[in-house]
Amino acid sequence: MEKDLKDDAENFEERTYRSVPADFRTSHLDDALEEKLEDAFYNGTSDIILHDVAKISRSHDPVDLAHTVTRLPPGARVIVYDNLPDLDAKIIFMINTGSYTRTAIFRQLPDSEIIVLIEKMPPDEAVWMFDDMSDRRMRRVLELLDPKKATRIRELQKHDRHSAGRLMTNEYFSFHLNTTIGEVAIAIRENPGIDLTRVIFVYNNDNETIGYVPERNLIVNPPYTPIRQVMRPITHKVEVSASRDEVVDIVERYKTPALPVFDHEGKMVGVITFEDVVEMMEDIADETIAYIGGTGEKVKEHEPIFRRFLWRAPWLLVTLCAGLVTSTVMSNFDDSGWFRYIAFFVPLIAGMSGNVGIQCSTTLVRSLSTGELSYSSRGDAMVKELGIGMLTGTFFGFLCGFVVYLLYHYGIHVEGADEVRIGITVSCGVFVACITATVLGTVSPFFFARMNIDPAVASGPIVTAFNDVLSSQMFFLVAHTLYYLFE
């Protein structure tokens, strides 16, 4: 039986990976596995369904299953979890799946089974499990846990959700500087539940953490060597209150495999691993994508339609208000002679200015997020963007005005209009709109950053809406002014 399951899994993965580019293999695997699960759930009787789901759950990596079930209904996710082969697979599944999947599963599990899961998890992983429970159940489970385990979890829960204190693990190896490598090896063997063996930390007689030893140094040196002879100084660390953005910046720049976390008194309290940082980067990327698109919804999870509407509605309300302002202003110029021809070019102005503004803000947001822009270099970056905006407005303003002139001159547009006046008006309007959009797109990321708001919102509907309003008003102002100058 086991051999058949193994062969089935190998054949499935071989079919899935064949002729698939490396960058898309996991996505393609998820698609194929989802199709296989859906066939199992929707074809056959309940006995056949359970048999097929059990076969799939036992023959595939729980990490793959954890990602794939987020596309299935909540009830199906619980069935997949129940049919996982053993406790270790269930733990891996729960750690790697999404919040909504954990919530659905916890609703079906008794406290006793949840306690078994939590007891086997590292505290830094277990603390995220409690975020998906009700407060009452969280307190009940914590009271039934091993007191030492519960204390470690409560220590992590004290910190802000996106701080270093919450993201760290408080289970790690730390030894006195006179400890030998052989004694370290014995201690690691006696504590198999602690996963962090990539580095060990070293403290002195005053219990101050003074260095660390990479795993390679533990392997290549003799067992009788004191760890003080092979340790390295700690050059990078963070406090428990540090934000996840700060953690990601440090690890990304210095490629730190394990970043120590210290409390405000200078005592080491935990470690953030490289794997934890990768998960943070994924979360930050998801949130940034959502902000740029003008929504706060989770981009990797299914949600009810009404809830997704509520996530999008506040952002779109700003766009609605901006459109009403523009239409109100346009209605006041309805009796003006020049408005008869100029109104046709409002979409052109809005489109050009919108793209110019988004290009500016997106470029600066990227430079801010990657740390390429220091505080002292922001002025130079703004000057360069304004220069690009001037060049863009001049080139496309002249080009657009010339094309409009030709369109009217050869009768492609409405005849009887003053093609020179309209061409100049549109040309000047495009120029002014591009400058306005450049200023707004350049200033807004720095303004949002200074207000401690994610600069990614500068590329979203808020700034886009303001840009549409300002560029349209500037276009009307230019048209109105030129109309009286040509009289």
CATH class of the region 305-485: mainly alpha
Give per-residue pLDDT as tens, 204-242.
999 999 999 998 898 899 999 999 999 999 999 999 999
The pTM assigned to this predicted structure is: 0.64
The residues spanned by each domain of the chain are 2-164, 174-293, 305-485
Residue 222 and residue 232: Cα distance in Å, rounded? 17
Give per-residue pLDDT as tens, 40-95.
887 766 666 778 888 888 888 999 999 888 888 888 889 999 999 999 999 999 99
pLDDT given for residue 225 in this prediction? 93
Fold of 2-164: MgtE N-terminal fold (1.25.60)
pLDDT given for residue 262 in this prediction? 94
Give per-residue pLDDT as tens, 352-382.
888 888 888 878 877 776 666 766 777 888 8
- Counting beta carbons within 10 angstroms of the beta carbon of residue 118, is it exposed (0 to 12), middle (13 to 18) or buried (19 or more)? buried
Residue 175 and residue 225: Cα distance in Å, rounded? 13
Residue of higher predicted confidence among 304 and 227: 227
pLDDT given for residue 370 in this prediction? 64
**Hey, which residues does 260 pair with through a beta bridge?**
271
473 phi/psi in degrees, rounded to 5: -65, -40
Instruction: Dump strand ranges (E) for 188-330.
Output: 199-203, 209-214, 232-233, 238-239, 258-262, 268-273
Q: For the chain, what percent of residues have pLDDT higher than 70?
A: 83
Judged by DSSP in three states, 104 sits in helix
What single letter denotes the amino acid at residue 31?
Answer: D
Q: Which residues of 165-197 are buried (b: 16+ CB within 10 A; e: fewer)?
A: bbbbbbbbbebeeebbbebbeeeeeeeeeeebe
pLDDT band at 458 (very low <50, low <70, confident <90, very high): low
Of the candidates 103, 54, 106, the one whose C-alpha atom is nearest the C-alpha of residue 80 is 54
Fold of 174-293: CBS-domain (3.10.580)
